[in-house]
A = this chain, B = another copy of it.
Amino acid sequence: MTSQSAVSQLASAMGQQPAPIYLRVKQAIITQIRAGHWQPHQRIPSESELVNELGVSRMTINRALRELTSEGYLVRMQGVGTFVAESKGYTAMLEVHNIAEEIALRGHEHTSRLLTLEEVQADGERLTMPGVAPGQPLFHSQIVHYEDGIPVQLEDRLVNPVMAPDYLKQDYQAITPYTYLMQVAPLSAGEHVVEAVMPDAFQQKTLMIDAREPCLLVRRQTWSGNHAVTGARLLYPGTRYKLLGKFRDHN
């Protein structure tokens, strides 16, 4: 069978470089997977087998396998065995940051202008939020964010009064809604949708762009516990803003 040759290849893949043993074990296992010797869903040798093959203590093997599991390379089932996870397929991620932080990080000046701060009634269509029935009150705010005086984001936000009853009383020159909401209702889950749209007349005017400039629209819905906290529509002028992301394969 292939198991014997696979194991000897495994042992040789460890080498004797000056690196911690658990790391060499991890590398050896990743090598087997990348080389295709161990296929997705296939069972790999048990801890005690690896202990015998590699001459390493079980705790060290266990650490290697545990870390590879948390990194998505393996799947483990108590009482059953350890299996190769299906192709990680590189999750290439984009981070979506808080606008004020991001501007500050670039060393620029962030200012904002409050356009709207009001209570509205949920209507089940545009003015709606999961868990808030039509007719119930909602808080609504509109804020333009500027980077060195140039508008870069139009923030249109609905807030669940149950989760943030004092939302209307805050000073949004001093604190961004994002920061305030994170304080009163720590985020537990969220969702993003990013799309390309054309701005309407109002949006063109407030962002000071012309009618033919496409915009990035980020719709974000966040939850605290089981309750929806806020839904935001963040509109960015296409020529002044880009979403940037880096990714890296860290063994």
Contact = CB atoms under 8 A, between A and B. Distances in A.
A212 interface: yes
A196 interface: yes
A193 interface: yes
B94 A98 contact: no
A191 B89 contact: no
Secondary structure type dominating chain A contacts: strand
A195 B216 contact: yes
A216 B197 contact: no
Given A214-B197, A238-B196, A191 B94 contact: no
B193 A214 contact: no
Contacts of A194: 94, 194, 216, 242-245
A185 to B, nearest CB: 12
A131 to B, nearest CB: 17
Interface string A85-118: 0000111111111100100000000000000000
Interface string A160-199: 0000000000000000000000100011111111111110
Contact of A198 (B190, B212, B220, B246): B212
A93 B95 contact: yes
Contact of A98 (B89, B98, B187, B198): B89
Interface of A: 34, 70, 89-98, 101, 182, 186-198, 212, 214-216, 220, 236, 238, 241-249
